[in-house]
């Protein structure tokens, strides 16, 4: 746990200069918010792992067994990646960054916490994971509805996708990894395309068609894929997750997740 904590701290420290490089009040504010949330989460992880070592005598990540320690670590990692209800920092931070750093924040920065979540998922309280997953999917759907800023839209899309990943974690970790891979691929496509077009608002996309028709078509397809529209790639993980939830006798959870995907799809289509 000590090494994992150190890795997370180095990860946070390394992206801070990238976030603050623009010397703009918004960038500085975003950097400060990010630093405070990540430091809080890292401190919670260190506290929980120390507590686990104190009560159970074990520093091993796989063998974390004290219920309070597992819950604290799960909530801390949820805060690190921005799962609802600990998601409030994510749209604000992403909005203050440029598109390149936003890309790093939405993809690369999620890998380390996810590696830890995957390793402790079998010992975590299933109700906690389900609650985090359903809340994130709903928040990601509702939150993006009245946004005009593309970076905030992508932040809420990130929250919704993370919800889908967390909900299936306890039943099929392989599906979580599949979803994460596809999400990272499609989000990278979106960020890089928006960077080429230098657009950060929805209305600037409306003028994109005469300038770059091919890129605009690509953006449209990536957005629909993020929303999970068949026959595009983004539909596959959602379909498999709903199927697995139905197999596990959780029809209400599956229904709520499917409905939240409709909310997300609405703002992607817009």
pLDDT in tens, 46-94: 999 999 999 999 999 998 999 999 999 999 999 999 999 999 999 999 9
pLDDT of residue 109: 96
Q: What does pLDDT average to over the chain?
A: 95
- Tell me the residue range of the domain where 129 lies: 125-269
Query: In the chain, helix, strand, coil percent, each to 5?
Result: 80, 0, 20
pLDDT of residue 107: 96
Asked if 106 and 159 sit in the same domain, the reply is no
Beta-carbon contacts of residue 246 (< 8 Å; ≥ 6 apart)? 254
Domain boundary, last residue among 61, 92, 121: 121
User: Can you tell me the mean pLDDT for 192-197?
Assistant: 95
CA distance 16 to 5: 17
Reply yes or no on whether the pLDDT at 213 is more than 90: yes
Domain boundary, last residue among 85, 102, 121: 121
Place of tokens 């839209």: 153
Domain boundary, last residue among 70, 97, 121: 121
Reply yes or no on whether the pLDDT at 146 is more than 90: no
Asked if 15 and 68 sit in the same domain, the reply is yes
Q: Can you give the pTM of this predicted structure?
A: 0.95
CA distance 127 to 136: 14
> Percent of the chain, pLDDT > 70?
100
Reply yes or no on whether the pLDDT at 114 is more than 90: yes
Asked if 87 and 130 sit in the same domain, the reply is no
Asked if 176 and 232 sit in the same domain, the reply is yes
Q: How many CB atoms lie within 10 A of CB 203?
A: 8
Phi and psi at residue 146, in whole multiples of 5°? -105, 25
Under the banding of pLDDT at 50, 70 and 90, the label for residue 206 is: confident
Under the banding of pLDDT at 50, 70 and 90, the label for residue 149 is: very high
Total number of domains in the chain: 2
pLDDT of residue 208: 87
Q: Max Cα separation, the chain?
A: 65
Asked if 111 and 155 sit in the same domain, the reply is no
Reply yes or no on whether the pLDDT at 207 is more than 90: no
Reply yes or no on whether the pLDDT at 128 is more than 90: yes
pLDDT of residue 125: 94
Q: Note the pLDDT tens digit of each residue in 40-49.
A: 999 999 999 9
Asked if 44 and 110 sit in the same domain, the reply is yes
The least confident of 6-10, 90-94, 146-150, 183-187 is 146-150
Under the banding of pLDDT at 50, 70 and 90, the label for residue 253 is: very high
Q: How many CB atoms lie within 10 A of CB 52?
A: 24
pLDDT of residue 99: 96
pLDDT of residue 205: 87
């Amino acid at each position: 746990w000590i090494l994992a904590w150190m890795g997370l701290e180095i990860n946070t420290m390394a992206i801070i200069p990238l976030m603050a490089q623009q010397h703009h009040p918004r960038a500085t504010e975003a950097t400060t918010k990010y630093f405070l949330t990540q430091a809080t989460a890292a401190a919670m992880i260190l506290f929980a792992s120390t507590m686990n070592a104190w009560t159970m005598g074990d520093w091993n990540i796989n063998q974390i067994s004290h219920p309070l320690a597992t819950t604290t670590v799960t909530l801390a990692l949820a805060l690190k990646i921005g799962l609802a209800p600990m998601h409030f920092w994510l749209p604000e931070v992403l909005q203050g960054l440029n598109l390149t750093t936003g890309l790093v924040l939405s993809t690369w920065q999620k890998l380390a916490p996810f590696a830890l979540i995957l390793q402790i998922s079998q010992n975590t309280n299933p109700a906690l994971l389900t609650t985090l997953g359903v809340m994130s999917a709903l928040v990601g759907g509702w939150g993006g509805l009245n946004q005009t800023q593309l970076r905030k839209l992508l932040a809420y899309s990130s929250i919704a996708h993370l919800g889908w990943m967390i909900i299936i974690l306890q039943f099929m970790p392989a599906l979580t990894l599949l979803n994460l891979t596809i999400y990272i691929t499609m989000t990278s496509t979106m960020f890089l395309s928006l960077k080429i077009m230098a657009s950060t608002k929805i209305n600037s996309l409306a003028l994109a068609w005469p300038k770059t028709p091919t890129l605009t078509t690509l953006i449209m397809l990536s957005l629909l894929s993020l929303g999970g529209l068949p026959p595009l790639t983004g539909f596959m993980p959602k379909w498999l997750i709903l199927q697995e939830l139905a197999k596990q006798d959780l029809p209400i959870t599956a229904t709520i997740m499917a409905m939240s995907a409709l909310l997300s799809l609405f703002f992607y289509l817009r």
